[in-house]
Structures are given as C-alpha cells and as structure tokens.
Structure 1
Amino acid sequence: MRDEKKAVCLMCGKPTSRPERGRPPVYCSRSCQARAYRRRKQRLPAPGVPVEPPEARPTDVRARQRRRIAEAVWRIAAERGLDAASMRTIAAEARVSLRVVQYHFDSKHALMVEALRLLHEENERLARARIPVGMADPRGLLRSLLDEFLPLDDQRAFALRVFAAYYARSLTDPALAAVFLAAEQPLERLVADIIGAGEAAGGAAPGLDRNHEADLLVAGATGLGLDVVHGRRSLAEVRAVLDYHVERILPGA
C-alpha cells in the first residue's frame, strides 16, 4: 500500500514530488543538493556548542593593490631615484594598467606620500619584532634601536636607499618635505627616554642633556648608515662609532 506521508526537502523543507516508483527524492532541487554537500564538507561543531554564522571576509583587494603600487614606487626609488617614478613607469613596475594607478591615487604626489607612509609602517612593524621590549637594559635597548638605522640586512639596506631618494626629492619638493620631514621627532624622543631611563637607574654619565644627545645619535646613525650603503665605511667601523657613543652616554647601564 502506498505511503501517503508528505515528503519534504532535507535542506529547505519544501515539498518534494513523489515519483510513481522508487524512493522519494530527499532534496527539492540541485541547488539544495549542492548546499547539503558543502555542509557535509564542513567540520561539525561539538554537541551543545552553538553554531555561529561565519564572519564575512573583509574585502582587501583594494588594500593589496595599493600596497603593490607602493612597493613599485619603493623599487624605482631605490634603483633609479624618485625622478624616474612617473605614473606610467610605476604602473609598469607594478604590472598594472595606468588606469588602475589613477583609480587608487588622484595624483602622483598623493601616491608618493602614501608609499612613504606604508614604508614607515612596514619598518616600524619589523623594528618592533626585532627590538626587545622594556627599559630593563637601557644600553642594550639603545644599541638595538640604533641598529635599525644600519643596513644590517637586505630589508634595512633597501629601506635606507628609498629614504635617501625621498630625502633628495624633498629638497626641491616643499609639499613632500612637509610629509617627509615632519615636525614631530618620535625617534629622538624615544632615544631621549631611553637615556632618561639610564639616568634614573644611575647608569648615565653626569651632566648630560638627553635631548641633545638623542639628536646627535639619531642624526649620526642615519648618516653613518648611508655611508655604509655608499661603501664609504664598513659596517664594523660604523658600529664601533655608535658603540663608543652609547658607552660614553650610558657607561654604567
């Protein structure tokens, strides 16, 4: 005797048509069948654990493209200087169309500024991973910080070349200089704070002006790092000079 019980789709609950012969279908459509297959492929939650809807994946295509274009600016700046960085040249280096570059950046100046900002962010991220946290050892912390100005690896050497290109361009571009040579001096303040921690611990030389010493160390490390890039000095010579000044400022730290 035929079972008159109504058959419904296991996915959406809609009625399914009963064939004259054979077993009734368990899904009302191929779409529901595909959804069921995908669900079986997913890991089932533990019993009693509420099922949360999956978070929407952020759309980061725009950010990746902007980063790709900025990296093209870095390579051109390091190898040929910013004077060679036309919008068309940047597009070719990034392997995107000129229209894509113009879509993301209204002007070449806006692109230059954004590329510099992203490079600062990248350097800060890498430096934070390399520099020990805390002021327990002011002298060791100061040495680690000054190392970030030196071309100790390919990444830092590359960044120094890019910054040198930006500095040269800023001499004739007041708008870019306003961004590149900002009034704030966070590195100098950080170095002054480290020297201050050494003073508080009784390990600093007497009669220091921590701000003047910080200005000298940052400017000196920057210039010495570029000397190494140019091949004018060796890395060992430069580190010996910086160690001398760190030892002079924090002899007992």
Structure 2
Amino acid sequence: MARTADHDARRRQICAAVRRIVVQEGLDVATMARVAREAGFSVGLVQHYFPSKDALLLHTCRQVMADVNTRVAALITEGEKREQAIRTTAFASLKEMLPLDAARRDEYRVTRTFRGRALDNPDFADTVRSTAADLRAQLARAVTNGKECGEVPADTDPELAATRITALLDGLADQLHQDPARAVGHRGLDSCAEEILKTALREVFSGTCGRYRR
C-alpha cells in the first residue's frame, strides 16, 4: 500500500502538470487525459485522486495559493527573527506576490485564470474570497502591531489600510503581467511598481518601531 507521502507527492505532480498546461496552453486544454499525459500517469490514476475535472482544478487552485502563503509565511518568520521593522517585512512579503520574474509571472497567470473560473463556480469563488480575506487579515494584524509599537499612527484603521494596500497590489500585479517591458519615464515598470508599493507602505507605517530599538 502506498504511503501517505506517496499520495501527497502524486497529487502535487498532477497539480504541477495542470499548472504547466494552464501557463502554456490555457485552462480549456486541461482535460483529464491531457493532464494525465503531462504528469506521466494513466487517466485512471488521475481519476483515483480527482474524480472530476472540477475537483482537480479546485485542488490545484488551492495548492497554488497555499504555495504563495507558505513563501510569505517564511518571509514573515525571517523578518521577525531579524527584528526588522514591520514595514520592511510587509514589503518583502507583498513583493513576493508581484509577477516580477518568470516563475511568478506563471503563478500569476494560473491564479488569475482560476479567478476567472470563480465568476461562475461557487467553490472557486469561496477559495478566492477566503484567500483574499486571509491576506487582508494578515495586513490588518501587521497594522495593529505597528500601532502598538509606534510604527503606525494610533488613529489608523487597520482594515481600511489593509484594503487599500491589497487593492494597490492587485492593480500593480495586473499591469506588470499585461505589459512587463513598459517604461515609466526613464524607469522600468518593475522598479516603479516596487517604489509605488514602498511609498504606500511608508504612508501607513510612517513611524519608528520601538520594539527593537536598542
């Protein structure tokens, strides 16, 4: 009998195949047969783990978003270990979600494709909605922590600040994916996007954190 780790590895292989197909050929091409061929498995094995195409795509959607969250969590942990200002850690975490290199552009394409499917599929809509809500909640907690340590003004509304920053992040990601080579004045769009994000965070985290002050 296959071990649990083997089952998990196979699910990840199958989901990775879906991601490659979505990036290279589009979601409509991701049939069970095409996914099985891409993953190097039989259709029967794919159906053993995912009884329907919707089940397969939904699991892949959740896996992609979980992978992003794992990387962001690692950046937050590293920032806390280094006793960084909250603004610095927030910038590193949010920057990870921008399509600034080939891997993240592919990831963006996959997540945006699944967002489109969420328009008429309640299960996808719930996943997309909860993922966005989790990000806003994390940012709101960061703002609240900033208020406690002096990095954020006391009258700042954490939820409003989090909503504003995530809306900006979505817009920057869209522009970076649509036209990554575009110049803004004499600068590349990628460096401008980073500066825009930094400026937005400085407006919220405008003070100095006293928690790590020596």
TM-score bracket, shorter-length normalisation: 0.7 to 0.9
Q: Which residue pairs with 1:141 in the alignment?
A: 89
Q: Which residue pairs with 1:217 in the alignment?
A: 165
- Equivalent positions of 1:98-113 (< 5 A) are 98-113=43-58
Q: Which residue pairs with 2:195 in the alignment?
A: 240
1:108 is displaced (CA, Å) by 1.0
Q: 1:184 to 1:151 in 2, by over 3 A?
A: closer
- Letter paired with 1:83: D
Superposed CA RMSD: 2.3
> Contact 1:192–1:214 (CA<8 Å) still a contact in 2?
yes
- Letter paired with 2:151: G
Q: Gaps (5+ residues) in structure 2?
A: 183-188, 209-214
Q: Which residue pairs with 2:211 in the alignment?
A: none
Q: Which has the higher contact order (CA 8 A, sep 6+)?
A: 2
Q: CA deviation digits over 1:85-130, x for unaligned, max 9?
A: 1111211221222112111111111111111222223222233333
- Letter paired with 1:123: V
Q: Which has the higher helix share?
A: 2
1:224 is displaced (CA, Å) by 0.8
- Equivalent positions of 1:74-223 (< 5 A) are 74-131=19-76, 132-134=78-80, 137-182=85-130, 185-205=133-153, 207-223=155-171
1:151 is displaced (CA, Å) by 2.1
Q: 1:246 to 1:97 in 2, by over 3 A?
A: same
Find the residue that maps to 1:60 and give its secondary structure.
helix
Q: Gaps (5+ residues) in structure 1?
A: 1-56
Q: CA deviation digits over 1:140-199, x for unaligned, max 9?
A: 121112112212333322221110110112113233222332387121111111111221
- Letter paired with 2:68: N
Asked if 1:228 corresponds to 2:173, the answer is: no
> Contact 1:149–1:222 (CA<8 Å) still a contact in 2?
no
- More divergent stretch after superposition (173-182 vs 240-249): 173-182
1:247 is displaced (CA, Å) by 1.0
Q: TM-score, normalised by structure 1?
A: 0.70
> Contact 1:170–1:180 (CA<8 Å) still a contact in 2?
yes
The CA distance in 1 between the partners of 2:4 and 2:117, in whole Å, is: 34
> Contact 1:109–1:176 (CA<8 Å) still a contact in 2?
no
* Percent of aligned pairs with the same amino acid: 27
> Contact 1:189–1:214 (CA<8 Å) still a contact in 2?
yes
The CA distance in 2 between the partners of 1:225 and 1:184, in whole Å, is: 14
1:136 is displaced (CA, Å) by 5.1
Count of paired positions: 197
> Contact 1:205–1:248 (CA<8 Å) still a contact in 2?
no
